[in-house]
Structure 1
Amino acid sequence: MKKLCLTIKDFFQLKGAVLYDAERIRPVTKVSIDSRNVSPGSLFIAIKGDKFDGHNFVIDAVKKGAAAVLINSDKLSSCENIDVPIITVSDTTLALGELAAIWRKKLKTKIIGITGSTGKTTTKEILSTLLSGKYKVNKTLGNNNNHIGVPLTLFSTANRHDYLVLELGTNHFGEIKYTAEIAQPDYAIITNIGNSHLEFLKNRKGVFEEKAELFNVAESNKGTLFINNDDLILFNANKKYKKRITFGFEKQSDVEGEIIGYMEDGKPIVRINYVGNSSIYEVPLYGEQSAKNFLAAATVAFEIGLRTEEIKRRLRKTQAIDKRLNVQRFHNFILVNDTYNANPESMGMSLRLLSQIKEYNYRVAILGDMFELGKESKRLHGKLANILLKNKIDAVYTIGKFMKHLHLKLKSKNIEAVHFNNRESLKKFLTKKSFANSVVLVKGSRGMQMEEYAETIKLNNK
């Protein structure tokens, strides 16, 4: 199979591009923005980021064998001694997206776009695992899901791949539209609409407007949309989309799920009804959210053509993602490390998981701030008190200026509640605290670096 490549004709399509030594430009099959990963014959694109400026590493990229470099036009004078063709543009970040769009048009691979307020990464991982038993599948690595990550994921995809499972993230208006228009998905799924990034997206209506751009682009591409009927906003919007397949646990849907119980260790057992057939699946991940993520992934897998037994066989190979509901068992306690990120919906589901793990009766939550909630921060942090009480959490240790509001709500309740004003005091407390015969959840937004506390607990309770 002939390799995909970018040619001089493609480079001339870039807005405002000027090509130097154009007669020496050869087709390139690889694109890199990291000089450490440049391979001979590739194109190096110098991106100016928050921490590093790729223009400072152009020489390193050329030494590694870059066949051409793409730079901002105002940096041309610093590259006078570069002995490879140079392409200049006004903004290399935008040019990265333009080239990725060109690459996408050459791809025969079917693209499945996934976004949502919670569960998109886990849904991506489950779906790629299900499909990879029968097909050649590429996927977004980690959460490489923004205006840089989506183009790079496309460049890592070749025509040998039958499917690309592509995650699209956002925290500002316009970001999903931008990456979706580059990716042109054949299938699109929104896991849910929650209280995420409200500082910038204002409210759930704003979250929906932003996420729905994935549906809009996929529909214009004559793609298939997968709609979560349990999400009221998505349910109310689904009739506007023509080529749609619905799924859900609560409302009548094309693919219907039911959590019929939990294994002793807290993993859900799910029954799925689809085209008159009913099958039971043991989901090898923890929590209610994992069951929902599996139903979403299974719905796509059914539509693509996987049979029940194929899905069951591949589901057993699904593994938890680092820092996302990682349940770790020690000799006398259980640690739930869910420190990758947090919003009100994911926080609630993680707290409910504590009550579903039955091996120990004492339940502890160590919680850090949820970021980007804007004017709703105080209310949404305080609202967690009802969830903690309903799930019979015995002790709550909090840190962060917004978690202070939760602490104040808990002070008058029959629950051990301690708030820490700085990182060192919480770490010192955890160093001395025994969690014997307990189930312990650690969770907070990425910027809170709650994984540090999970490591402290592990080190001092072995």
Structure 2
Amino acid sequence: MSIEKLHQIFLQFPTVCTDTRKINKSCIFFALKGDNFNGNEYADEALRKGASHAIVDEKKYAVSNRVILVDDVLKTLQKLATYHRNYCAAKVIGLTGSNGKTTTKELIYAVLSEKYKTIATSGNLNNHIGVPLTLLSIKEDTEIAIVEMGANHLKEIEFLCSISQPDFGYITNFGKAHLEGFGGVEGVIKGKSELYDYLMEHNRSIFLNADDPIQFNKLGAYIKKYGYTQHKKDFYKIEFLEASPYVSIQVEGKTIQSQLIGEYNFTNCCAAILMGKYFNVPLESIIKAIETYLPQNNRSQLIEKNGIEIILDAYNANPSSMKVALENFSGLNGGPKIAFLGDMFELGGTAPSEHQNITDLSAKLNLDKVFLIGENFYETQTSFTKFKNYKDFESNFSSVELPSRGKILIKGSRGMALERLLDLL
């Protein structure tokens, strides 16, 4: 079946599902394959649960006229997404970077939704499957679609751009994330910059942090760029006021008081403000959107328990985000400061040195106690209390002395799931 004909079916049943546990009535089930499963085997179950059609790529499962046989289910999903993206009139904003992608995406969504019918990537569905699913969530009346793109190796952003074909793009930053896949920081810069490469090749617009020398120099004399700055001329000026603990910003003589912790969230807010201005969202609406946005899903959440302020930043971690989180935490006023740090993943051969660097940094900062959790931190040379894994930490938690007041930082990679600490605390 051609993509055009499949798209006609999709317009009649405009919901896509890839998991039979989450079947929506009259959705189209795409029988994707993984290392440990074959979606083709669940096509019949999907239909019985209410799916309108099932897309399979193994002939023996094409047993009814509601089952559509294709050469490759994943490629068909991706091609359908691109076709639908071009069928709809929505402008697509591509978003990538090492840190802050999801928070930035949510802030941009909050701002642009003040004026436009906007959709954005759900959660962190930002890979070769998630990006197509986001594109297929665009409705015919959608005006702007914000598509988050993640990557852990070269050419991945390039491929996701070929699917999403963004009209605009923004890179949050270049940090020490996924070093194992990218082969080092230079690989990270090259890989994330594939978004810029696509936009420049197709003469499309770029948003940037003009104070980031990597971004500024990378774009050079490219004309269709729109940046924010604290220092340069010829770009939109946004000033950082403070983060004690919440980020305060000044723009056009007005103060914006966010509910985001840490100076590192300043640029995330700036991106949303810049895009709001570009798309002619009234400044009052931009301010409202930033000020009312509340972080969720373990990202820089401020929680109070038993008189102690807890900064829960356990959604993910890499050396760059860990460094800025610790430095910000160290600068906060009020009571003893205790940090619980979990291992950072996907660092390859640099893991020992990067964990030692974070340990050494922590020793120099204004912190009262630091507890290290995970195999990599366990191998560091330090006087801090260390635990080989979370189970070891949990078993010995009774020996951890906590103050009756003060502040706690919880930071670690997703695989460490340090939000479990909340129950212990």
- For this structure pair, what is the TM-score category when the shorter chain's length is used for normalisation? over 0.9
Deviations 1:301-333 (Å, cap 9, x if unpaired)? Answer: 111112321111222220112111111012321
Pick aligned residue for 1:446 from 410, 414, 420:
414
Secondary structure class of the residue paired with 1:242: coil
Residue in structure 2 matched with residue 430 of structure 1 by the alignment: 397
Query: Partner residue of 2:59?
Result: 76
1:253: how far off? 5.8
Which secondary structure state, in structure 1, belongs to the residue aligned with residue 298 of structure 2? coil
Structure 1 residue aligned with 2:355, among 374, 381, 399?
381
Judged with a 3 Å threshold, the aligned counterparts in structure 2 of structure 1 residues 391 and 451 are, in CA distance, closer, same or farther, namely same
Aligned to 2:320: 345
After superposition, the Cα gap between the structure-2 partners of 1:321 and 1:249, relative to the gap in structure 1 and judged at 3 Å, is: farther
Matches within 5 A, 1:268-347: 268-272=247-251, 277-347=252-322
Deviations 1:221-262 (A, max 9, x none): 432101223333222212153310122345556123332223
Quote the offset at 1:51 in angstroms. 4.8
Does the 8 A contact of 1:25 with 1:68 survive in 2? no
> What are the Cα deviations for residues 361-418 of structure 1, in whole angstroms up to 9, with x where unaligned?
x11111111111223222222222453244311111112232135x41x33xxxxx11
Q: Deviations over 1:148-206 (max 9, x none)?
A: 00000111111211111111001122211111111111110001011111111012221
Q: Is the 8 A contact 2:230 2:238 kept in 1?
A: yes
Of all paired residues, the percent bearing the same amino acid is 30
Match of 1:419 among 386, 390, 395: 386
In structure 1, which of residues 195, 198, 206 is the aligned counterpart of residue 179 of structure 2? 198
Alignment-derived partner of residue 4 in structure 1: none
SS of match in other structure, 1:285: strand
Of 46, 64, 68, the match for 1:86? 68
Give 3-state SS (helix, strand or coil) of 1:108's partner.
Answer: coil
Residues 1:80 and 1:380: Cα distance change in structure 2 (over 3 Å): closer
Structure 1 runs (4+) deviating above 4 angstroms are 11-14, 24-28, 250-253
CA deviation digits over 1:197-218, x for unaligned, max 9? Answer: 1111012221121111112223
**Following TM superposition, by how much is the alpha carbon of 1:49 offset from its aligned partner in structure 2, in angstroms?**
2.3
Structure 2 alignment gaps of length 5 or more: none
| Counterpart residue number, 2:163 | 182
Partner residue of 1:398 out of 355, 372, 394:
372
Q: Is the CA contact (8 Å cut-off) linking 1:283 and 1:290 kept in structure 2? A: no
Q: Which amino acid aligns with 1:291?
A: F
Structure 1: tracts of 5 or more residues without a match: 1-7, 15-23, 412-416, 458-462
The amino acid that maps onto 2:255 is I
Give the deviation of 1:39 after TM superposition: 4.2
2:333 maps to 358
2:231 & 2:342 partners in 1: Cα distance?
31
The 3 A distance-change label for structure 1 pair 420 and 217 is same
Q: Does 1:137 pair with 2:118?
A: yes
**Aligned partners of 1:306 and 1:80: how far apart in 2?**
49
**RMSD value, Cα:** 2.4
Q: Is the 8 A contact 1:333 1:439 kept in 2?
A: yes
Q: Equivalents in 2 of 1:396, 1:40: separation in Å?
A: 50
Contact 1:355 1:392 in 2 (8 A): yes
* 2:246 alignment counterpart: 267
Count, aligned residues: 424
- Closer, same or farther in 2 for the Cα pair 1:13/1:38, shift >3 Å? closer
Check 1:387–1:247 CA distance in 2 against 1; reply closer, same or farther (3 A cut): farther
The equivalent position to 2:44 in structure 1, one of 59, 63, 68, is 59
Q: Which residue does 2:20 correspond to in 1? A: 35
Distance in 1 (alpha carbons) for counterparts of 2:68 and 2:6:
15
Partners of 2:395 and 2:303 lie apart in 1 by 22
Alignment match, 1:236? 217
CA contact (8 A) 1:185 1:221 kept: no
Is the CA contact 2:178–2:347 (under 8 Å) kept in the aligned structure 1?
A: yes
Q: Report deviation, 1:300.
A: 1.3
Determine the C-alpha separation between the residues in 1 that align with 2:239 and 2:76. 46
- 345-354 vs 242-251, which deviates more? 242-251
